[in-house]
Amino acid sequence: MEDKQEVSKKKATDPKDFTTCEATARMITKARKDGVELAFDRAANMKACPIGADSACCKHCAMGPCRLNAKDPYSKVGVCGATIDTIMSRNFARMVAAGGAAHTDHGMSMLDLFREVVNGNIKDYKIKSPTKLEAVAQSIGIETEGREISDIAMDLYEELERTYTQVEGEIPFAQRVPAKTLETWRKLGIVPRGAMREIMELMHRSHMGVDQDYANITKQCSRTALADGWGGSMVATEISDILYGTPSPVAIEVNMGVLKEDQVNIIVHGHEPNLFESVLESVNEPTLVQAAKDAGAKGINLVGMCCSGAEMLVRHGIPHAGNFMSTEAVLVTGAVDAMVVDVQCIKQALVKVAECYETPLITTNPRCKIEGATHIEFHEHDPKACTDELVIKAIGRFKNRKVPIEIPKIVNSGVHGFSHEYINYMLGGTFRASYTPLNDNIINGRIRGVAGVVGCTNPRVKQDWIHVELVKELIKNDVLVVQTGCSQVALAKAGLTTPEAAHLAGPGLKEVCETVGMPPVLGLGSCVDNSRILIACAEMVKTGGLGDSLADLPVAGCAPEYMSEKAICIGQYFVASGVYTVFGVTFPIVEGTKFHKHLFEELEKQGLGKWGFATDPYEIARLMIAHIDKKRKALGIDKARERTLVDMADRRAMDAA
């Protein structure tokens, strides 16, 4: 575990050691000149606590806090007698609970909005995709034939509310889980009832003196995490599609060069699309556009960051300025006339950086106020009251711009917006939309397997570098990569989300990409859109030929630069769903302990997936590919790949002759 804090140890002074994002590196240099501190510098100056990094400490009661020795994990216990396995699994449980709560609370906000739209109490939003509404309703057994959209919608609302509030039974989207996987969950007692109940029970069980059996705690971790992946997050994604439209491929632009010196630049950085959709309306309001022009601007330029940015990117092609580790750096350009935030991943330091560049930092959600920021509360019943006002604030800042502006003129383009529905259509064609071609290409070996590369960026490792190197290595080995969250923005900046990037893929994947005209790296959306990956996997099982359960699929997942508790929860629901999931940076567990063995080995034997850990991108790729090959072998399709690749070489030789 020596390589855990590469950056902080070095006290790196060269911004290139902090990031491979050229624009961010330039802004780090500028910030230093301007005397402004960023998270990169704070990470270098704040050595991560090694006991905490190993999760070997407990502060669940006032007899402690207790610190155990990670080097000799069984030499000590806490004052209450808690062993290292209990302490680590309880800490892990609390991360799962917090991460799951974040996604499910977001999903519940979406559902609140949906209910009010269906009731007719909210008029500023409407059901944009009745087709998606019907498809989701049908997927959980709601009758749609010959019925009014509003009636179907009301039934759907009532069903989906159970995702959160149900005290007994199974959450509605459990019906989408392949039968054999569901059977395994039932046997283990981990089918979620309702998210509120699971999170509550997990908090209870990780309290001092309750569940002190790491394997039993892990079960409730799985149940809670599944209530996120197949519950809260999936509801967030599906309702967003119903209200705002299902993504389909769209040409996009990313990086700081999307800011325009001669326009009013507004950045929305957050997670709930409700706010962003309404800001989009406001910036197109003729009176506000005129006001911007009167202030001397060419127009209003709306740009996203982080996850709601990723959603607007895939859904509407709204430009994206950068991922999590660029949110402070983008303010250093001096070009941001307002940064608007809602919930999650919003660094408190943004207040100070924004102040240095006279940018209004505006909080909008009652759940997330930040000392020193301007709060303009957003209400779905009257969304424009907030979003018009913040646009006016931005115009005001533009008019009175005093700080010098320096925008790194870097813009990368790509194609994003590959919903699981679209993957269907893209590979299957209009008349035979299905996952059959994807499965066929996996079975015949052109595509070796599918990898989800997702998650955050983290100043403890070089920004974007691991994401990009890992993905390059995967596609080179014919692994099709699907992406969400901050990771997809890293790859978009690296230019890998264009169809032309197919030349970086191995011969099999390259052939498929060229035939279909798709990039080898598919951007799906925000972190809650990881649920799209679950649905795609379920479709692959249903389509046939790749086993009966999710655990049979030749797939793997990874969050190589993760930082948030949400990422841990996502990791746990992928593992519980049957996917091998590798994390980087640091893993909050001591190696060689029983709990470690449980997560990294034993869960797989129960028919679930398992965790993996590595910090080096090539090592991560090796682990993921080895797992994919293991699954191919178990399915009896390992030989096909050799044949296909030989065929192709033969064919090329023939072409050349």
Does the protein bind ligand NFS through residue 519 (CB under 6 A)?
no
Query: Which residues inside 74-93 make contact with ligand SF4, applying CB under 6 A?
Result: 78-80, 82, 87
* CA 104 to the chain's CA centroid: 14
545, 522 Cβ separation under 8 angstroms: no
Nearest-angstrom CA–CA distance, 518 and 497: 9
Is 64 an interacting residue with respect to ligand SF4 (CB under 6 A)?
yes
Task: Choose the contact partner of 58 out of ligand SF4, ligand NFS, none; CB within 5 to 8 A by kind.
Answer: ligand SF4
63 makes contact, choosing from ligand NFS, ligand SF4, none, with CB < 5 to 8 Å by partner type, with ligand SF4
Sorted by sequence, the CB contacts under 8 Å of residue 441 that are 6+ apart come out as 427, 447, 508, 512
The option from ligand SF4, ligand NFS, none interacting with 455 (CB < 5 to 8 A, set by class) reads ligand NFS
Q: How far is the CB of 306 from ligand NFS (least distance, A)?
A: 4
Exposed, middle or buried, 120 (CB in 10 Å: 0-12/13-18/19+)? exposed
Asked whether position 63 contacts ligand SF4 by CB under 6 A, the answer is yes
Report if residue 566 touches ligand NFS, rule: CB under 6 A: yes
CA dist 504 and 475 (Å) reads 7
Alpha-carbon span 498 to 505, nearest angstrom = 12
Q: Work out how close the CB of 462 gets to ligand NFS at its nearest, in angstroms, rounded to a whole number.
A: 16
Q: What is the DSSP letter of 594?
A: H
Identify the residue among 23, 456, 471, 513 touching ligand NFS (CB under 6 A): 456
Closer CB to ligand NFS, residue 212 or residue 564?
Answer: 564
* Amino acid letter for position 49: C
Min dist. Cβ of residue 538 to ligand NFS (A): 22
Does the footprint of ligand SF4 cover residue 65 (CB under 6 A)? Answer: yes
Using CB under 6 A, which of 360, 383, 414, 455 touches ligand NFS? 455
Interior/surface letters 502-539, b for 16+ CB within 10 angstroms, e for the rest = bebbbebbbbbbeeeebbbbbbbbbbbbbbbbbbbbbb
Among 83, 166, 564, 572, contact with ligand NFS (rule: CB under 6 A): 564
C-alpha dihedral (127, 133, 134, 138), degrees to nearest 10: -160
Task: Tell me the closest approach of the beta carbon of residue 486 to ligand NFS, in angstroms.
Answer: 4
Asked if 391 touches ligand NFS (CB under 6 A), the answer is no
Please report how the helices 565-577 and 84-119 are oriented relative to each other, as an axis angle in degrees rounded to 10.
Answer: 90
445, with CB counted inside 10 A (0-12, 13-18, 19+), is buried
**Would you count residue 523 as binding ligand NFS (CB under 6 A)?**
no
Q: How many residues bind ligand SF4 (CB under 6 A)?
A: 14
Q: Is 208 in the site for ligand SF4 (CB under 6 A)?
A: yes
Q: Give the relative orientation of helices 214-227 and 195-205 as an angle to the nearest 10 degrees.
A: 160
Interaction partner, residue 79 (ligand NFS, ligand SF4, none; CB < 5-8 Å by kind): ligand SF4
d(CA 26, CA 38): 13
Which of 82/101 has CB closer to ligand SF4? 82
Enumerate binding residues for ligand SF4 (CB under 6 A): 58-61, 63-66, 78-80, 82, 87, 208
Enumerate binding residues for ligand NFS (CB under 6 A): 271, 306-307, 323-324, 344-345, 455-456, 485-486, 527, 564, 566-567
